[in-house]
C-alpha cells in the first residue's frame, strides 16, 4: 500500500522555503505509483500534533508551480520545539498516532538544526513503537548555520538582498554626506553567526567602497575601536556605512540591543541595535545619521531572490523525495560545492544525527584581522550564492504571489492534543 507524506515548515520562513515545498510536491506527484498524497502541516508541526493537516492534492499543478516564486510559508510555519524524548514523550507518541491514522509513512521536515533534531527523534521513536516512519530533513535557514551542507536554502536570497541594499543605500548617503547624513547604519539578522552581515561585504568591490564597517556577533564590540573606524571613514570618504548584525555583543556577552523579552525557544528577542549604534555615533562623534532595520523585509524579499538559492531550495525538496524513494531514512540532502569559480554544486546527503542541534559558525578566517570586514576567502565562499536573478511574475506593478486553498484533511482521530 502506498504511504502518504507529511511535509511541515518550521521556524522563521524565507523567500524560498516554498520553493522547497514545490520541489517536494512536484516530485511526489511524479511518483504517484509509489507515493500517496502529500499532506502539509497547518502551522508546521502543530498541524500534526493537532491533526490539522492540509491536503495538497486540492491544489492545481499551476498553483503548486507558483510556490516556487512565492515567499513566506504557504502552509504556515511554527516556532515550536519539541522537547527531549524523556521530557515530553507524549508529543512524539502523538505524532506517530496521527501519522498512523492517516497512513503517513514519510515525514519531510523543512527547517534548521532544531527541526533536524525533531525529525531524527521521530525516526527513532517510530521504530521503537513499531510504526517506522521515513524521516527526511529539508534544510532551511537564513542563518546559514547548518553544518555539512555548503549553504542553506534561504541564505543566498537574504545575502543578495543585504548586499544589494547596502550598495544602494551607500550611493544615497554618499550623495548626501556633504551637507547632511554622514553615517548610515543597516541592521541585519544573524543572532549567533555573522553570515548575513558578512554578505553585506559583497557590496564593496574596491577599497573605499561601502560597507566601511561590519559589526559581527563573532567579534566583541569595542566602542573605542569602532568609533575610530567610523571617524576614519568619514575623514577619508566623507561618509561611512555600517552594517550591524542583530547579534552584535559586548565582550561580556551582553547584546548591544537586549530587548529584555524571550521567544518560545527561550532565546532573547533582539531588535534595535541600529538605534544603539546610531546614538553612539551621534553622541561621541556628532555625525548626523540615518539607520534602517531590514527585519522581515530581508528574508521575505522574493522579488530580489538569488537564482542559485531558488534552484537549491527546489533541489533540496526534490532530493528529499528521491532519497525516501531510494530507501534512505534519517538523512538530510545537502548542497555539495564541486567548484567555486565557476560555481558548480551537486546534491549530497548527511545523517540527521550529524546535523541535529548543531550550529555552523563563521570561521574567524572569514573576518579581517581588524574585525570589521570580510576576507578574500569569505568573498569567494559567499559570491556564488547570490548569483542570478529569478524575478517573480508581476501583475499591476506587484509580484503575483500565490494563495493556496489550504483545504483540511478530514480528521480520523477523536482525541484532541493540548499543546503545552
Residues annotated as catalytic are: 143
Distance of CA 9 to the CA centre of its chain: 11
Q: Which is nearer to its own copies, 67 or 330 (CB)?
A: 67
Contacts of its own copies in 187-226 (CB under 8 A): 202-203
Q: In this chain, which stretch among 21-29, 130-138, 213-221, 261-269 interacts with its own copies, using CB under 8 A? A: 261-269
Q: Shortest Cβ distance from residue 325 to its own copies (Å)? A: 28
Q: In this chain, which stretch among 88-96, 118-126, 299-307, 326-334 interacts with its own copies, using CB under 8 A? A: 299-307
Do the strands 331-339 and 344-351 form a parallel or antiparallel pair, or are they unpaired?
antiparallel
Q: Which is nearer to its own copies, 119 or 203 (CB)?
A: 203
Residues binding its own copies: what is the number (CB under 8 A)?
A: 83
Q: Residues 288, 337, 408, 411: which binds its own copies (CB under 8 A)?
A: 288
Q: Residues 55, 103, 172, 359: which binds its own copies (CB under 8 A)?
A: 172
Q: Shortest Cβ distance from residue 123 to its own copies (Å)? A: 23
Q: Which is nearer to its own copies, 1 or 418 (CB)?
A: 418
Q: Residues 398, 410, 414, 420: which binds its own copies (CB under 8 A)?
A: 398
- Is residue 297 a contact point for its own copies (CB under 8 A)? yes
- Is residue 416 a contact point for its own copies (CB under 8 A)? no
- Is residue 61 a contact point for its own copies (CB under 8 A)? no
Q: Which is nearer to its own copies, 178 or 369 (CB)?
A: 178
- Is residue 88 a contact point for its own copies (CB under 8 A)? no
Q: Shortest Cβ distance from residue 146 to its own copies (Å)? A: 20
Contacts of its own copies in 21-40 (CB under 8 A): none
Q: Shortest Cβ distance from residue 132 to its own copies (Å)? A: 29
Amino acid at each position: 500500500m502506498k504511504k502518504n507524506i507529511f511535509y511541515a515548515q518550521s521556524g522563521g520562513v524565507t523567500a524560498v522555503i516554498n520553493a522547497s515545498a514545490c520541489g517536494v510536491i512536484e516530485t511526489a506527484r511524479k511518483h504517484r505509483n509509489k507515493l500517496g498524497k502529500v499532506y502539509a502541516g497547518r502551522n508546521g508541526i502543530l498541524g500534526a500534533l493537532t491533526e490539522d493537516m492540509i491536503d495538497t492534492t486540492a491544489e492545481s499543478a499551476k498553483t503548486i508551480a507558483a510556490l516556487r516564486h512565492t515567499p513566506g510559508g504557504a502552509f504556515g510555519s511554527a516556532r515550536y520545539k519539541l522537547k527531549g524524548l524523556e521530557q515530553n514523550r507524549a508529543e512524539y507518541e502523538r505524532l506517530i498516532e496521527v501519522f498512523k491514522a492517516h497512513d503517513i509513512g514519510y515525514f519531510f521536515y523543512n527547517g534548521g538544526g532544531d527541526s533536524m533534531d525533531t525529525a531524527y527523534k521521530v525516526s527513532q521513536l517510530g521504530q521503537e513503537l513499531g510504526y517506522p516512519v521515513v524521516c527526511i530533513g529539508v534544510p532551511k535557514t537564513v542563518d546559514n548555520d547548518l553544518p555539512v551542507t555548503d549553504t542553506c536554502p534561504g541564505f543566498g536570497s537574504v545575502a543578495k538582498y543585504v548586499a544589494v541594499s547596502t550598495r544602494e543605500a551607500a550611493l544615497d548617503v554618499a550623495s548626501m554626506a556633504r551637507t547632511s547624513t554622514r553615517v548610515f547604519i543597516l541592521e541585519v539578522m544573524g543572532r549567533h553567526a555573522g553570515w548575513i552581515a558578512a554578505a553585506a561585504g559583497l557590496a564593496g568591490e574596491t577599497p573605499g567602497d561601502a560597507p566601511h564597517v561590519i559589526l559581527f556577533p563573532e567579534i566583541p564590540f569595542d566602542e573605542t575601536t569602532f568609533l575610530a573606524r567610523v571617524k576614519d571613514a568619514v575623514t577619508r570618504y566623507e561618509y561611512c556605512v555600517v552594517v550591524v548584525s542583530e547579534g552584535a555583543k559586548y565582550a561580556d556577552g551582553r547584546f548591544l540591543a537586549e530587548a529584555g523579552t524571550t521567544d518560545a525557544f527561550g532565546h532573547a528577542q533582539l531588535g534595535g541595535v541600529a538605534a544603539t549604534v546610531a546614538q553612539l555615533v551621534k553622541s561621541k562623534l556628532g555625525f548626523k545619521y540615518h539607520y534602517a532595520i531590514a527585519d522581515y523585509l530581508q528574508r521575505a524579499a522574493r522579488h530580489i531572490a538569488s537564482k542559485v538559492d531558488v534552484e537549491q531550495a527546489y533541489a533540496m525538496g526534490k532530493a528529499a523525495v528521491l532519497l525516501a524513494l531510494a530507501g534512505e531514512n534519517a538523512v538530510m540532502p545537502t548542497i555539495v560545492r564541486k567548484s567555486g569559480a565557476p560555481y558548480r554544486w551537486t546534491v549530497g546527503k548527511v545523517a540527521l544525527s550529524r546535523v541535529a542541534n548543531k550550529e555552523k559558525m563563521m570561521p574567524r578566517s572569514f573576518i579581517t584581522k581588524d574585525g570589521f570586514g570580510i576576507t578574500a576567502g569569505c568573498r569567494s565562499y559567499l559570491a556564488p550564492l547570490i548569483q542570478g536573478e529569478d524575478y517573480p511574475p508581476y501583475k499591476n506593478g506587484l509580484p503575483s504571489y500565490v494563495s493556496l486553498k489550504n483545504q483540511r484533511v478530514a480528521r480520523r482521530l477523536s482525541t484532541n492534543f493540548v499543546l503545552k
